[in-house]
């Protein structure tokens, strides 16, 4: 088994569309549908306290391959209307990136 990795995805909602982004994110199952992927360990959606239009999704995967499988299907498995609503709320969406933990405080 490989060392778990974390995915980090930054989302920026259009100004004034934060509530729409959050609703569309939930409706499209972006935190629930990954559970269908073998190797998904969990994820959370975070909102910046300093820049309220900025969000991050931090996911944990048992391998880079598990995350790659999610990337191939992330929007394809969502309800089309929910996926379109989600994309409509975003400024310049970008793919996530993978990170491997090097050190951790206790």
Q: Which tens digit of pLDDT belongs to each residue from 56-106?
A: 999 999 999 999 999 988 878 788 898 899 999 999 998 899 999 898 898
User: Is 61:6 a contact under the CB 8 Å cutoff?
Assistant: yes
What are the residues whose beta carbons fall under 8 Å from the beta carbon of 47, sequence distance 6 or more?
18, 22, 54, 55
Q: What is the mean pLDDT of the chain?
A: 93
Q: What domains are there in the chain, each with its CATH number?
A: 5-92 (3.30.70.100)
Q: Which tens digit of pLDDT belongs to each residue from 73-85?
A: 887 878 889 889 9
* 59 three-state secondary structure: strand
* 35 three-state secondary structure: helix
């Amino acid at each position: 088994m490989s060392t778990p990795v974390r995915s980090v995805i930054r989302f920026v909602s259009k100004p004034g569309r934060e509530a729409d982004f959050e609703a569309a994110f939930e409706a499209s199952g972006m935190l629930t549908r990954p559970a269908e992927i073998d190797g998904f360990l969990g994820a959370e959606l975070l909102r910046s306290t300093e820049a309220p239009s900025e969000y991050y999704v931090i996911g944990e995967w048992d391998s880079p391959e598990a995350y790659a499988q999610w990337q191939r299907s992330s929007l394809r498995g969502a309800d089309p209307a929910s996926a379109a609503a989600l994309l409509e709320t975003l400024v310049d969406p970008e793919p996530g990136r993978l990170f491997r933990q090097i050190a951790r405080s206790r």
